[in-house]
Amino acid sequence: MTEKLIVLGSTGSIGVQTLQVARRNNIRILALAAGRNVDVMEQQAREFLPKMVAMQNETAAQELKIRLADTDIKVYSGEQGVLETVHADADTVLNAIVGIAGLKATLETVRSGKILALANKESLVTGGELVKEALKQYGGTMLPVDSEHSAIFQSLQGVPEGALDRVLLTASGGPFFGKTKKELENVSVEQTLRHPNWSMGQKITVDSATLMNKGLEVIEAVHLFDLSPDRIDVVVQRESIIHSGVVLKDGGLMVQMGVPDMMLPIQYALTYPNRLPCSERLDLCAIGKLTFFEPDKETFPCLSICTKAITDGGLKPTAANGANEEAVALFLKGQIGFTAIARLVEGAVAQQSSGTAVSLESIFDADASARRYVRQHFSQEAV
């Protein structure tokens, strides 16, 4: 069980909830890192009194340094500064940075010998092979924070080696469940950010609406549970009560259920293997019924694009992720329409050759090339 924790991406949706879990369970915070939100970081630093904090944005770091001048807290800046915080004296690093920006921190954590509690799925999507190699080399532990993967991990407790047949990955279907392709053409940013069951950061909320999030999670599951993509079934579970599960060799299905709330998966990663009081109890009779559907892969192509990308392997998943990060940013700025995201991701994956060896350098090259593809092609998609 974690006693001393480092939180990366502490000012974001998962970061703030992680600090709530830490507060409730008296987990000490040794370091915090985030992008540019000085106000929230100052508050967090004053409350938790970590030894060090980092802001990736240099200007934000300068400002924070001035504001924390009356404390003993060391302030670091830039990407290097964020990586520095991983070396504070703690047992666990919870990585809740958003995007491929979290990959180096994931690798640095594994190399430091600390437990990696991973929310930043993009680091497995892009660097899964490298992360697993490092885990083997350094004998490390990685625990999932993503609710579906935590549910799979929880469902696997006590399941003997070799008994797993398939993984069941549930999806909410997002705000546009049941809509036609035509109806999706004119959806606004505001409608896209209105998720029915979960309150999350902007990027993952858009990903949930396009089903890109589920595609990224298929890739995440491939790496976390050492499965081929054809052993992962995606099912829409509209109420987000069944958080995912496993099908065993004897046909038995084990799932983890609960209220749609990230507190439990975050806490489980920090208290594993112990279970402590956390979320409100599920009232099954109040819920009444659960509904299931096949995902609509025609209307939401990102899921199949990701499954194909991980099946083809190499740098294809990195290209899918990089193009998506770039396209989502353009969508949020109102520069492209909703359905353009999938088209741009598909195009970027197609232009990525499948043969290149995976290394940190080739991953960042493939990411840059996918982003370039999106910037060169988005004007044809402009709204």
Residues near Mg ion (CB under 5 A) are 146-148
* C-alpha torsion angle, residues 195, 199, 205, 208 (rounded to 10): -60
Tokens, residue 203:
């990027």
Binding positions for ligand NAD, 140-159, rule CB under 6 A: 146-147
Cα(291)–Cα(284) distance, rounded to whole angstroms? 13
Contact 150, 169 (CB under 8 A): no
Does residue 364 belong to the site contacting ligand NAD (CB under 6 A)?
Answer: no
Q: Select from ligand NAD, Mg ion, none the partner in contact with residue 148, using the beta carbon and a kind-dependent cut-off of 5 to 8 Å.
A: Mg ion
> Exposed/middle/buried for 99, CB within 10 Å: 0-12, 13-18, 19+?
buried
Residue 13 vs 147, nearer CB to Mg ion: 147
AA letter at 249: K
Closest distance between ligand NAD and the C-beta of residue 68, in Å?
17
Residue 158 phi, psi dihedral angles, 5° rounding = 85, -5
Is residue 122 near ligand NAD by the rule CB under 6 A? yes
User: Among residues 205 and 381, whose Cβ is nearest to ligand NAD?
Assistant: 205
Q: How far is CA 114 from the centre of its chain?
A: 19
CB nearer to ligand NAD: give 12 or 337: 12
**Cβ–Cβ under 8 Å, residues 99 and 213:** no
* Tokens of residue 23, six digits: 């507060």
Q: Nearest approach, Cβ of 274 to ligand NAD (angstroms)?
A: 22
Contact between 214 and 171 under an 8 Å Cβ cutoff? The reply is: yes
Distance CA 32, CA 92 (A): 12
Q: What is the DSSP string of 280-296?
A: PPP-HHHH----EE---
CB neighbour list of residue 47: distance below 8 Å, 6 or more residues apart: none
Residue 348 in the binding site for ligand NAD (CB under 6 A): no
Q: Which stretch binds ligand NAD (CB under 6 A): 117-125, 177-185, 285-293, 332-340?
A: 117-125
14 belongs to the binding site for ligand NAD (CB under 6 A): yes
Confirm or reject binding of residue 35 to ligand NAD (CB under 6 A). Answer: yes
Per DSSP bridges, beta strands 4-8 and 92-95 are: parallel
Q: Is 47 exposed, middle or buried (0-12, 13-18, 19+ CB in 10 A)?
A: exposed
> And the tokens for 179?
């809509």
Query: Rounded CA gap, 210 and 184, in Å?
Result: 10
Of 1 and 290, the one with the shorter C-beta distance to Mg ion is 290
Read off the DSSP letter of residue 131. H
Q: Which stretch binds ligand NAD (CB under 6 A): 44-52, 132-140, 159-167, 197-205?
A: 197-205
Indicate the pairing of strand 164-171 with strand 242-248.
antiparallel
12 makes contact, choosing from Mg ion, ligand NAD, none, with CB < 5 to 8 Å by partner type, with ligand NAD
- Closest approach, Cβ 118 to ligand NAD, in A, equals 9
Instruction: Draw the binding track, 212-241, toward ligand NAD (x: CB under 6 A; -: no contact).
Output: ------------------------------
Q: Closest separation between CB of residue 94 and Mg ion, Å? A: 15
The single residue listed with the structure tokens 């190499």 is 314
Q: Give the nearer residue to ligand NAD in terms of CB position, either 34 or 327.
A: 34
Judged by beta carbon, residue 13 or residue 170, the one nearer ligand NAD is 13
Question: Quick check: 12 binds ligand NAD (CB under 6 A)?
Answer: yes
- 170 is a contact residue toward ligand NAD (CB under 6 A): no
Check binding of 174 to ligand NAD (CB under 6 A): no
Is residue 263 within 8 A of residue 204, CB to CB? The reply is no
Site for ligand NAD in 79-98 (CB under 6 A): 82, 96-98
Q: DSSP letter for 100, please.
A: G
Q: Candidates 184-192, 198-206, 226-234, 331-339 — which segment interacts with ligand NAD by CB under 6 A?
A: 198-206
Q: At what angle do helices 316-332 and 302-312 cross, to 10 degrees?
A: 150
Q: Shortest distance, CB of residue 198 to Mg ion, whole angstroms?
A: 8
* Nearest residue to Mg ion, scored by beta-carbon proximity: 146
Per CB under 6 A, the list member of 37, 77, 154, 321 interacting with ligand NAD is 37
Residue with Cβ nearer ligand NAD (35 or 313): 35
Q: Which residues of this protein are in contact with ligand NAD, per CB under 6 A?
A: 9-15, 33-35, 37, 56, 82, 96-98, 101, 119-122, 146-147, 198, 200-201, 203-204, 262
